[in-house]
Amino acid sequence: MKDRLRKLSKQTFIYGTSTVIGRFVNFILVPFYTNVFPPSEYGVIAVIFAYTAFFNVIYNLGFEAGYFRFASETVGNEKKKSFSIAFFTILLNSTFLSLLIIIFSTELASLTEVNNTSFIVYTALILFLDALCLIPFAFLRLSNKSYVFALIKLLNIVVNVSCNLLLILVFRYGLEAVFISNTAASLLTLLMLSPYIIRNISFTFDKNLYAEITKFSLPYLPAGIAAMLIQVVDKPIIQFISGKEALGIYNANYKLGILMMIIVSMFEYAWRPFFLNHYRDEDAKKLFSKVFTYFVGFCSVVFVLITIFIENIVRIPLPYRGHLIGESYWGGVTIVPVILLAYIFLGMYTNFISGIYIEKKSRYLPLVNGVAAALNILICFILIPHIGIMGGAVATLVSYLVMASFIYFLSQRFYPVQYESGRVMVIILIDLICLIVFFSLLNSHESFLIKIISCIILVSLVVYTSGLYKAHRLFIRNQ
């Protein structure tokens, strides 16, 4: 088991390094935007990229998941058939959808209150280019080419950030710079992936394989739409109820939860090919249980550190001007711990979904994610008028909690794993205590020593309970 845990740790570290560095470089844009654009203009960026994230799922059609599942069981030319079926399906779908968006760009600009047609056209191009990169990136992950994956991802972010800084600071572009930069980065990514596309294309059409992949993949479309609704629907609702300024404040503080999202993302990059390669092992379920405990423990350490010191973090001065987050955005800092905790539950969902994947029970995903998405929308409309942007954060937390709970019970029905439930429940309790500490010390600027002491105690409890203090043994080969 140690060798396999070491392998997962190594893959997660490689994916994580590119994701952490990339997201960190990308995060530079948040303080940059919040110190350059007023909340109302930053709200425009937030709402467009909220819709972009939603449409990414529709462009995908669930075929990334289908490719993963079927390519993991095939070799040689059969693997190329899986690649080609997924890639060409996404290509045709993306071409149709992007042309549709461009044709109706004027109407869409008016409908979304963006009032700039060029933003919509750029968004259609970004969606098209990003969709064509999905299957090549999946191929790299399935082939354990994590270094190539990491390099391409890093270059994408570097180009994006560099173009943003150049266009805004040197050429004095406004919001349009954001969309030009993203388009350039996406185009470069596709060009770098093109050799892998060419090598894996097969023009032999297997009707039966297409039917199998489609049957497995399509349930991921409504499931993916529902999951993406949870991530983005709070933003247009906040804009509708509270306006663009409130949305700008919400989105800037929401992004402070980015570190937990990075951890979940980099784990998912390594986790999916890992469990597909090891679920046939004799002790696979014991292995998956230990992975889950370590994952929750590590996420909780990060949660405690950020939650306790978030008020201090947002006030970090920047060398050029302003702070890490512009002062006009500080009023929304209270949502950060709630978003961090929400992403922990999303990470639990990512762990539990392995059983659904392994047993090919994807037809249940639309129901699970659909219930959570409906609940998210309902809570947003109930709470936002009364408690403002905190209502959106609470809706996100409740939705991910429901998703994790439902998928746990479903997965246990088809692929039961004996998780270390007692340890995990204690860790979650420690996280809740951390929330209480945060709100108790809120706006208390004379409590830094208390924060340090609280942080040391809570982190120590998490490390001991999860067994993280033993994790270093994974990297000692002679034990």
pLDDT tens, N- to C-terminus, the chain (479 residues): 656 666 666 666 666 566 556 555 556 677 778 778 877 777 788 778 878 888 999 999 999 989 988 888 777 788 899 999 999 999 999 999 999 999 999 999 988 878 789 999 999 999 999 999 999 999 998 888 888 988 898 899 889 989 999 999 899 888 899 999 999 999 999 999 999 999 999 988 899 999 999 998 988 888 888 888 888 889 889 989 998 889 888 988 888 887 788 888 878 877 887 887 788 888 889 989 999 999 999 999 999 999 999 888 888 887 766 777 778 888 889 999 999 999 999 999 999 999 988 888 888 889 999 999 999 999 999 999 999 999 999 999 999 999 999 999 999 999 999 999 999 999 999 999 999 999 888 776 657 888 899 999 999 999 999 988 876 555 444 43
pLDDT value, residue 21: 60
- Specify the amino acid at residue 176: E
- Collapsing DSSP to helix, strand or coil, 389 comes out as helix
Place of tokens 């109820």: 241
Alpha carbon 27 to its chain centroid, in Å, reads 14
pLDDT given for residue 473 in this prediction: 59
Q: Whole-angstrom Cα distance, residue 259 to residue 307? A: 12
Instruction: State residue 448's pLDDT score.
Output: 83
CB atoms within 10 A of CB 2: 12
3-state secondary structure of 114: coil
In angstroms, the CA 144 to CA 11 distance is 8
In terms of Cβ atoms closer than 10 Å to its own Cβ (0-12, 13-18, 19+), residue 321 is exposed
Give DSSP secondary structure letters for 43-66.
HHHHHHHHHHHHHHHHHHTTHHHH
- Residue type (1 letter), 399: S
Q: What is the pLDDT of residue 59?
A: 96
Compute the distance between CA of residue 158 and CA of residue 156 in angstroms, rounded to an integer. 6
Name the 3-class secondary structure at 323: strand
339 and 195 Cβ atoms separated by less than 8 Å? no
DSSP letter for 170, please. I
Q: Residue 317: beta bridge partners?
A: 323
Q: Quick one: pLDDT at residue 14?
A: 64
Q: What is the pTM of this model?
A: 0.74
First vs last Cα of the chain: how many Å apart?
A: 12
Q: Quick one: how far is CA 112 from the chain centroid? A: 24
pLDDT (0 to 100) of residue 476? 46
Query: What are phi and psi for residue 323, nearest 5 degrees?
Result: -125, 175
Residue 18: predicted pLDDT: 62
| Secondary structure class of 317 (helix, strand, coil) | strand
How many whole angstroms separate alpha carbon 64 and alpha carbon 206? 18
Q: Which amino acid is at 429?
A: L
